[in-house]
Amino acid sequence: MLYKILEVYARPDFPEKLRQHVLLSLVALLVAIAIAMPVALMIRNSRLGALIAINIGNIGRAVPSLAILALALPFFGIGFGSALVALTALAIPPILINASTGLREVDKGVIDAARGMGLSGGQILARIQLPIAAPVIFAGIRTSAVQTVASATLATFIGGGGLGDLIVEGYSRRGPEILLAGALAVAILAIITEIGFGVLERAFTPKGLKIAQKRRK
């Protein structure tokens, strides 16, 4: 069985399917960040805005991935674009919820002290709020990235390509080695994504927060 799985990875079409999967996941994540972060920044001082964003985000997380892909199909047709729109919609909620929560949970006393020192709103955001909220924000991006990589498998059902093609091919041809090859590739890609963003999260966490976290432990 292992030899047959390796044969699937040696197929000429495998690198292209892997490239499609990575590209689709990466672009969807970047677009989601570009949408979610400005919204989170705009509502960081609005309790009502944050409440609305979090509730919308929770609703988005509750909708099954396949349902969102199916909803995108009538509007955007079959292909990469339709899958991209659907995956972007799936990727936004974790980033929006974590960014909004992280920014709003920064100690008000610290913000007031910075304001008393003469820092402007932009300086407070750049030097205090974003660095302190960075671990929470990156945790949301990491969750979104892993979820996007996993959900991109379903893009095959609307012509988006990717590693999901192998899973469908293995199922339709009753070739377990093809199905397992696709599933293992997606799982490994998700693990690499989890580890990679975990490293980025630690790298962007301010040293002061790292020390405080160690002291709590």
pLDDT of amino acid 215: 53
pLDDT of amino acid 184: 93
**pLDDT bracket for residue 217 (50, 70, 90):** low
Summarize pLDDT for 56-83 with one digit per residue, the tens.
777 777 777 777 777 777 777 788 888 8
For residue 51, tell me if it sits in a domain: yes
Summarize pLDDT for 28-53 with one digit per residue, the tens.
999 999 999 999 888 877 778 778 87
For residue 46, tell me if it sits in a domain: yes
Integer-rounded Cα radius of gyration of the chain: 20
Q: Could you give the percent of the chain with pLDDT greater than 70?
A: 94
- pLDDT for 96 beyond 80: yes
Contact at 8 Å (CB) between 33 and 138?
A: no
User: DSSP assignment of 34-84, as one string?
Assistant: HHHHHHHHHTTT-HHHHHHHHHHHHHHHHS-HHHHHHHHHHHH-SSHHHHH
CA neighbor of 130 nearest in space, from 181, 32, 206: 206
pLDDT of amino acid 36: 92
% helix, strand, coil for the chain, step of 5: 85, 0, 15
For residue 47, tell me if it sits in a domain: yes
For residue 155, tell me if it sits in a domain: yes
Q: In CATH, what number is assigned to the domain containing residue 194?
A: 1.10.3720.10
**pLDDT bracket for residue 209 (50, 70, 90):** low
For residue 217, tell me if it sits in a domain: no
- pLDDT for 153 beyond 80: yes
Residue with the bigger pLDDT between 109 and 187: it is 187
Per the structure, the complete domain to which residue 121 belongs is given by 2-9+16-210
- pLDDT for 10 beyond 80: yes
For residue 216, tell me if it sits in a domain: no
Summarize pLDDT for 167-201 with one digit per residue, the tens.
888 888 777 888 898 899 999 999 999 999 888 87
Number of domains forming the structure of the chain: 1
For residue 176, tell me if it sits in a domain: yes
| Spatial distance between the Cα atoms of 25 and 9, rounded to a whole number of angstroms | 20
For residue 167, tell me if it sits in a domain: yes
Q: What is the mean pLDDT of the chain?
A: 84
Q: Which amino acid is at 198?
A: G
| Spatial distance between the Cα atoms of 148 and 87, rounded to a whole number of angstroms | 6
| Spatial distance between the Cα atoms of 208 and 192, rounded to a whole number of angstroms | 28
**pLDDT bracket for residue 145 (50, 70, 90):** very high
